[in-house]
Structure 1
Amino acid sequence: MSSKQPLEPEVQTLMSGIAMGESPRWHQGRLWFADWGTQQVVAVDALGNSEVMVETHLDLPFSIDWLPDGRLLIVAGRASLILRKEVDGMVVTHADLRSISDMGWNEIVVDRNGRAYVNGGPGVIAVVNPDGSVRQVADNIAFPNGMAITQDGKTLIIAESHGRRLTAFNIEGDGSLSHRRVWADLGEGCPDGICVDADDAVWYGDVPNKRCVRVLEGGEVVQTIALDRGCFACMLGGAEGKTLFLVATEWRGMENASAVASARTGKILTAEAPAAAAGRP
């Protein structure tokens, strides 16, 4: 761990009263996120004005990202499907993941070529081609969570929550993954949602340790933001890409998820980051 971390930035509340927020994405000047507790996709602007963008009937988990042409993808985790919202508002099936696993799916990130990487099930990663065809590209992931693609488009990084590490793969020309390696051993860290910045550092949310952490490849911690509740995910955005959005909720375990959602302790918090957003999502 670095002994010279910068002073913690001021953390401000952008939005409160969220049931259970996840999968934040900066898109077209607003932060979009999935509220698992209300089954909605919500967008909020820099002034805290929010709008429900999609009403779903999806059980948790579900997550979001966009194809290069602007169509929204939604992972229906329990159903093991990826849905696509068309320009006219129609929601259709983009891909069926049940041929790989029907044990449920979690997070998604879309690359510059329109290939969607999605994880979940029994610790696997699948790639979905633009035509909807699906194949498994990795396994033995210790509870797969957030994923990000570096700014050069050549590396996929995944949070292994139970492995307490970030793991990297090379992205090959056909979308397959190779050269698996530990990108950062996080010690007691428990990574959830992640994002990449222009200095090639990764921010990760940490629920049990109630913090968001910025780490370099190799594991050096360069910044920690302590919170009063679990940090499920983080995303860089804002006008200059240097606003760090933190999705945080008072968490009491999956067995109490309904009570957590009813309590609506979820917040979108913001802090100033040292480097701008890079890569995907």
Structure 2
Amino acid sequence: MDVVLEKLSFLEGPRWRSGRVWVSDFYTHRVLSAAEDGSDLRVEAAVPAQPSGTGVLPDGRMLIVSMRDHKILRREDDGTLVTHADLSGLARGVLNDMAVDPQGRCWVGCFGFDLMGGAPLATAPLIRVDPDGSAEVVANDLHFPNGAVCDGHTLVVAESFGDRMSAFTVQPDGSLSARRDWARFGDPPTSTDLAEVLPTLSVVPDGIAEPDAEGAIWVADADHHRAVRVREGGEILDEVAVPEGQTYAVALGGADGRTLFLAVAPSFLEHERAHTRDAVLLSTRVEVPLR
């Protein structure tokens, strides 16, 4: 493992684009980018309501999840931030990660309940935001929809507390159909007590990478000190152990597409992370490159 970035609060949503790795740092309220080795660190955006997932529109402008005010922000060419969409009437709990597809549609998850406040587990909706900023709920009853990828035809979303990754077929009008298990690691929870549920989960899929050249997806397993490479159907093909800390998000990229970036922190709890600076972005080399 190489240390790419260090002394940060809690990292989420790493992405590889334009020859740089981009990542959100929750509690410093910044979106950062750096060269593959961590040099040339830049602050790309300041998001007071806490940034999470990011993505890029077909014209190159960046979209950023602003978690606490339920907005999708758009970074204009001059660096200013404007509201792309307001999801206040659709989201349950704070917004989470997202994917942006080649058509410029966003697929956005939310917590569904007050995770940091210790509320009972509850399912959450998945929201589609169209390029003009209009939005609607396109799926319900997901167990903490988190990392997502979408090629415009198939959407795959990690359900962190559901022990699975779900897939949907994307219809031409943006509606979703044919919901199915892309990878089922175990049975969805029956309890609403997170302390009871977590020990029963085989995989806690958090952030996920774009598919590699063989169609497999690297997945951050947020409760088992690792990232796993998963084939459709649920077979785990490879594993990267992270003994110190938990892995909350991953991205596949680098100059040759064989660098796996891992967002790592000691825990996810806000009261432990907000005022500490021990989160890191690590990298390691993998055999199968980005598609």
TM-score in same-fold range (> 0.5): yes
Deviation readout 1:45-75 (Å, 9 max, x if unpaired): 123211111122123x632111111111111
1:157 CA drift (Å): 0.5
Following the alignment from structure 1 to structure 2, what is the Cα–Cα distance between the partners of residues 101 and 194?
A: 21
TM-score relative to the length of structure 1: 0.89
Q: Does 1:64 align with 2:80?
A: no
Q: Does 1:203 align with 2:218?
A: yes
Residues 15, 48 of structure 1: 8 Å contact kept: yes
1:77 CA drift (Å): 1.5
Q: Does 1:244 align with 2:245?
A: no
Q: Which position in structure 2 is the counterpart of 1:189?
A: 203
Matched AA of 2:27: G
Matched AA of 2:42: E
Following the alignment from structure 1 to structure 2, what is the Cα–Cα distance between the partners of residues 225 and 94?
A: 36
1:240 CA drift (Å): 1.2
TM-score relative to the length of structure 2: 0.86
Following the alignment from structure 1 to structure 2, what is the Cα–Cα distance between the partners of residues 112 and 155?
A: 12
Residues 126, 138 of structure 1: 8 Å contact kept: yes
1:38 CA drift (Å): 0.7
Alignment partner of 1:84 out of 74, 88, 92? 74
Matched AA of 2:245: R
Query: Match of 2:262, SS?
Result: strand
Alignment partner of 1:221 out of 201, 221, 236? 236
Following the alignment from structure 1 to structure 2, what is the Cα–Cα distance between the partners of residues 42 and 213?
A: 25
Q: Which position in structure 1 is the counterpart of 2:290?
A: 277
Following the alignment from structure 1 to structure 2, what is the Cα–Cα distance between the partners of residues 272 and 146?
A: 21
1:231 CA drift (Å): 0.3
Residues 160, 167 of structure 1: 8 Å contact kept: yes
Alignment partner of 1:263 out of 276, 280, 286? 276
Q: What value does the CA root-mean-square deviation take over the aligned residues?
A: 1.4
Alignment partner of 2:44 out of 53, 60, 65? 53
Q: Which position in structure 2 is the counterpart of 1:170?
A: 169
Matched AA of 1:135: E
Matched AA of 1:81: K
Q: Which position in structure 2 is the counterpart of 1:5?
A: none
Query: Match of 2:273, SS?
Result: helix
Q: Which runs of 4+ in 1 moved over 6 A?
A: none
Following the alignment from structure 2 to structure 1, what is the Cα–Cα distance between the partners of residues 98 and 37?
A: 27
Shift in CA distance, 183/120, structure 1 to aligned 2, threshold 3 Å: same
Matched AA of 2:68: R
Name which of structure 1's ranges 81-90 and 229-238 shifts more when overlaid on structure 2.
81-90
Following the alignment from structure 1 to structure 2, what is the Cα–Cα distance between the partners of residues 58 and 243?
A: 30
Deviation readout 1:16-65 (Å, 9 max, x if unpaired): 11211100011111100000021101111123211111122123x63211
Deviation readout 1:194-251 (Å, 9 max, x if unpaired): 0121211111101211100001111111101110210010001111111111111111
Following the alignment from structure 1 to structure 2, what is the Cα–Cα distance between the partners of residues 259 and 120?
A: 21
Following the alignment from structure 2 to structure 1, what is the Cα–Cα distance between the partners of residues 263 and 91?
A: 28
Deviation readout 1:245-281 (Å, 9 max, x if unpaired): 1111111x52xx2432433121111111222223xxx
Following the alignment from structure 2 to structure 1, what is the Cα–Cα distance between the partners of residues 274 and 226?
A: 20
Unaligned runs of 5+ in 2: 113-123, 187-201
Residues 14, 268 of structure 1: 8 Å contact kept: yes
Following the alignment from structure 1 to structure 2, what is the Cα–Cα distance between the partners of residues 101 and 161?
A: 17
Query: Match of 2:27, SS?
Result: coil
1:121 CA drift (Å): 5.0
Residues 186, 219 of structure 1: 8 Å contact kept: yes
Query: Match of 1:37, SS?
Result: helix
Relative contact order higher in (CA < 8 Å, ≥ 6 apart):
1
Following the alignment from structure 1 to structure 2, what is the Cα–Cα distance between the partners of residues 184 and 18?
A: 32
Matched AA of 1:55: A
Q: Does 1:17 align with 2:42?
A: no
Residues 207, 229 of structure 1: 8 Å contact kept: no
Residues 79, 102 of structure 1: 8 Å contact kept: no
How many aligned residue pairs are there? 262
Q: Does 1:231 align with 2:222?
A: no
Residues 33, 44 of structure 2: 8 Å contact kept: yes
Unaligned runs of 5+ in 1: 1-10
Residues 117, 127 of structure 1: 8 Å contact kept: yes
Q: Identity of aligned pairs, percent?
A: 39
Following the alignment from structure 1 to structure 2, what is the Cα–Cα distance between the partners of residues 274 and 168?
A: 25
Q: Which position in structure 2 is the counterpart of 1:8?
A: none
